[in-house]
Structure 1
Amino acid sequence: MSDLPPDLSPLPRSFCLRGAVETARALLGKVLIHRASEGTAGGIIVETEAYAGPTDAACHAFGIPAARPGHRTEVMFRAGGYAYVYLIYGMYHCFNVVAGPEGFPEAVLIRALEPRFGLGLMRKRRGTDDARKLCGGPGRLCRALYISREQNGTDLTSGTLFLAEGESIPDARVAATPRINVDYSGEAAGYPYRFAVKDSPFLSTRRFLGNPNKQSSADN
Structure 2
Amino acid sequence: MPDPDLRPARREDLLGLPSEVAPRLLGGHLTTVVGGETVTVRLTEVEAYHGQGTGPVGDPGSHARMGKTARNATMWGEPGHLYVYLSHGIHSCVNVVCGPAGVAGGILLRGGEVREGTDAAARRRPAARSSRDLARGPGRLGDAVGLRHPVHDGIDAITGAEWHGAVARLALPVTPLPDVATGPRVGVAGPAGTAAFPWRFWVPGDPTVSAFRWGRGAGPLN
TM range (shorter): 0.7 to 0.9
Match of 1:158 in 2: 159
Which sits farther off after the overlay, 53-62 or 162-171?
A: 162-171
Match of 2:218 in 1: none
1:37 to 12, 35, 38: 35
> With structure 1 as the length reference, what TM-score do the two structures score?
0.83
Is the 2:7–2:174 Cα contact (8 Å) retained in structure 1? no
**Are positions 1:189 and 2:188 aligned together?**
no
Match of 2:107 in 1: 108
Is the 1:58–1:189 Cα contact (8 Å) retained in structure 2? no
Question: CA deviation digits over 1:48-105, x for unaligned, max 9?
Answer: 00001212000011132xx34xx11111111211110110111011100111111110
Is the 1:75–1:82 Cα contact (8 Å) retained in structure 2? yes
Letter matched to residue 42 of structure 1: T
* Alpha-carbon distance in structure 2 between the residues aligned to 1:187 and 1:207: 13
Is the 1:13–1:157 Cα contact (8 Å) retained in structure 2? yes
Is the 2:14–2:98 Cα contact (8 Å) retained in structure 1? yes
Is the 1:28–1:45 Cα contact (8 Å) retained in structure 2? yes
Segments of 5+ residues of structure 2 without an aligned counterpart are 53-57, 161-166, 215-222
Is the 1:10–1:158 Cα contact (8 Å) retained in structure 2? no
Question: CA deviation digits over 1:12-58, x for unaligned, max 9?
Answer: 11111112011111100110000112310012100000001212000
**Are positions 1:28 and 2:35 aligned together?**
no
* Structure (1 or 2) with the greater helix fraction: 1
Letter matched to residue 156 of structure 1: A
Segments of 5+ residues of structure 1 without an aligned counterpart are 209-220
What percentage of residue pairs aligned between the two structures are identical?
34
Tell me how large the CA RMSD over aligned residues is: 2.1
* Alpha-carbon distance in structure 2 between the residues aligned to 1:45 and 1:167: 14
Match of 1:13 in 2: 11
Letter matched to residue 60 of structure 1: H
TM superposition outliers: structure 1 runs of 4+ over 6 Å: 6-9
Match of 2:220 in 1: none
Match of 1:133 in 2: 133
Q: How big is the shift at 1:170? A: 3.4
**Paired residues, number:** 199
* Alpha-carbon distance in structure 2 between the residues aligned to 1:25 and 1:158: 22
SS of the residue corresponding to residue 179 of structure 1 reads coil
* Alpha-carbon distance in structure 2 between the residues aligned to 1:166 and 1:18: 17
Match of 2:75 in 1: 76
> With structure 2 as the length reference, what TM-score do the two structures score?
0.82
Q: How big is the shift at 1:206? A: 4.7
SS of the residue corresponding to residue 194 of structure 2 reads helix
